[in-house]
Amino acid sequence: MSASRSTSRGGSQDGSRGHGRSRYVADRGLTARMVTTMFLIGLLYVVVVGLLVVFLRGSWPVVVAIAGALFVAQFFFADRLAAYGMGAREVAAEQAPQLHGAVDRVCALADMPKPRVAVADTDVPNAFATGRSRDTALVCVTTGLLRRLEPEELEGVLAHELSHVAHRDVVVMTVAAFLGVVAGAMARVALWGGFGRGGQGRDGGAAVAVLLVPVVSAVVYAVGFLLTRLLSRYRELSADRAAALLTGRPSALAAALTKVTGQMGQIPTRDLRRAEPYNAFWFAPAFSSRQSLGRLLASHPPLDQRLDQLARISDRLGR
């Protein structure tokens, strides 16, 4: 697609695209599984609130207020803090014309507004997107990725990341991860309140609350964490599929995945450890020498599963 076509389409539709649907193809199977996972996370949250009311009695409004404040802070600032932590530096079209051109082409294909574009100065070959909405979105690639990928491969990676923006995955994952914040706040307030009441002898059940609520909080956090990781893997498969169908070049995305994953072993361990805390944001996880603890804890599906899905899509498009 030519740059002129991208510009003309963007100029005629900028006013309407920000609130409309993009051309990314939805995957009903993956969507159903993501909805089910979100339902289970929400069910756990209801159980947590119920336990707050039962065990903490007069203290539960304080817990809810603290949890609400934490949620607001996480919702509005988590993506900015992540971008800052990963060293994202916003660049103008004059500073990175090829990158901006690739983003323009993908946005024209997807019929969605162009996000802010950033570059992170690191040799770790990767990319990520953040933002609560299309209006606040930012897509960032590393200098290591730009050096290694061909133009078609780069567009495949950008299409994957912009799929996260189009499907509002950042909002979904923020809400899902909020359960862990609530569980942690529960444990702390229960301990403080329980010890306080127990020390004054006002509540015979304080000792039980001190012991039981933190245990329940830990269990709920663990289950919520595993469900959130499952949801993260679903969204990565969904973004791969949407990007492959949008660009019509699943083989280019597969080549990019293979390159990025294969070259992680050549990156210094220090750089990988610095990138690893943000694995949930990255196009492909950055593993240090410690590696992943297992498939249940992984933020991304295994490489062979992603490549198998792309191979099936390529076969269907070929027919």
CB 213 within 8 A of CB 189: no
Give backbone dihedrals phi and psi of 24, rounded to 5 degrees, phi first.
Answer: -65, 135
Assess whether 161 carries a catalytic annotation. Answer: yes
CB 286 within 8 A of CB 264: yes
User: Can you read off the two tokens belonging to residue 266?
Assistant: 């050549």
Residue labelled with tokens 């507004």: 113
Rounded CA gap, 165 and 112, in Å?
A: 10
For the chain, the farthest-separated pair of C-alpha atoms sits apart, in whole angstroms, at 76
Of 90, 94, 152, 161, the active-site residue reads 161
CA–centroid distance for 57 within its chain: 35
Q: Residue 7: count other Cβ atoms within 10 Å of its Cβ.
A: 12
User: What is the DSSP code string of 247-303?
Assistant: HS-HHHHHHHHHHHHHHGGGS-HHHHHHHGGGTTTBSS----TT--S-GGG-SS--H
What kind and span of H or E run contains 116? strand 116-120
Catalytic machinery residues: 161
